Structure 1
Amino acid sequence: MPVHLEIVTAERQIYSDEVDLISAPTRDGRVGILPRHAPLLTILQPGELTIVKDGTRTPFAVSGGFMEVLPDRVTILADTVERADDIDATRVEAAIKRAEELRQSAQTDQEMALAEAKLRKEMVRLQVMRMREIGRRQ
């Protein structure tokens, strides 16, 4: 008995299907969601969002947002989310370089915080992209 998962951003619906497992990065640590999970409302942190359906693991890079869990349905409202297959290595590496340059040139605490948040987001994208590559080699 799977659970229905919907992943949406402000712009569009990213994913909608029945899944067997959801593993998400939350403010309190990683949580695993199975069908009939107790109700939960939590804040998502930047990290790898993983879904498992019929034994196939699909990673996503999520930059933050919220997750509502009901016994038969999970809704993720994400700031941004990307499938591992949609992440371009060249663009990620360039964005990491830009974020590091912003961090180096930051003159206020606010500029530093923004640069570090951008760097964390890009590092998550890089990690998810690498996990996809490792999965293809196995």
Structure 2
Amino acid sequence: MALPTKLQLNIVTPDQSLSYEVDEVAMPGQEGDFGVLPGHTPLFAGLRTGTMWYRQGNEKHFLAVSVGFAEVLPDRVTVLAQVAERAEDLDEARAQAGMARAEEMMGAMPHEMDFERARLSLLKTLQQLQADARRGAGH
């Protein structure tokens, strides 16, 4: 049986579902970043908040993802995540404002749970800005 030459990438969040035919995918796994090519061994992995990308031909596309799971099969990758925002859809001004709010909350909240929520919000915003910067740099 011949190995597949492409991957079907499906990204599902509570707000949207995206589907692409891709040559390669890289994701921020709980145990570290990992890449997937067609024919990959089946795998189920937890995802952390970070930047993922996929390649179509010579063009890379970046997404900011937040907490989820990835199912990898030889011919497809399915990502289930709380958030998945394409870099081209990110609003840098909105992300900067969100980062400022999160930093302000972190300084003003003595309760541990509120601090952790603000820290996660800050981390998500930083990842969004990083995804947007990578898209602009053409990595």
TM-score by length of 1: 0.94
Residue 6 in structure 1 maps to residue 41 in structure 2 = no
Q: How many residues align?
A: 135
Tell me what 2:71 maps to. Answer: 68
Residue 86 in structure 1 maps to residue 94 in structure 2 = no
Displacement of 1:12 in angstroms is 2.0
User: Matched residues, percent identical?
Assistant: 38
TM-score by length of 2: 0.93
Distance in 1 separating the partners of 2:39 and 2:26: 15
Tell me what 1:99 maps to. Answer: 102
**Pairing of 1:1-138 with structure 2 (within 5 A):** 1-13=5-17, 15-135=18-138
Q: What secondary structure does 1:63 align onto? A: strand
- Give runs of ≥4 in structure 1 deviating > 2 Å: none
Q: What secondary structure does 1:64 align onto? A: strand
Q: CA RMSD in A?
A: 1.1
Q: What secondary structure does 2:39 align onto? A: coil
Q: AA paired with 2:65?
A: V
Structure 1 unaligned regions, length at least 5: none
Structure 2 unaligned regions, length at least 5: none
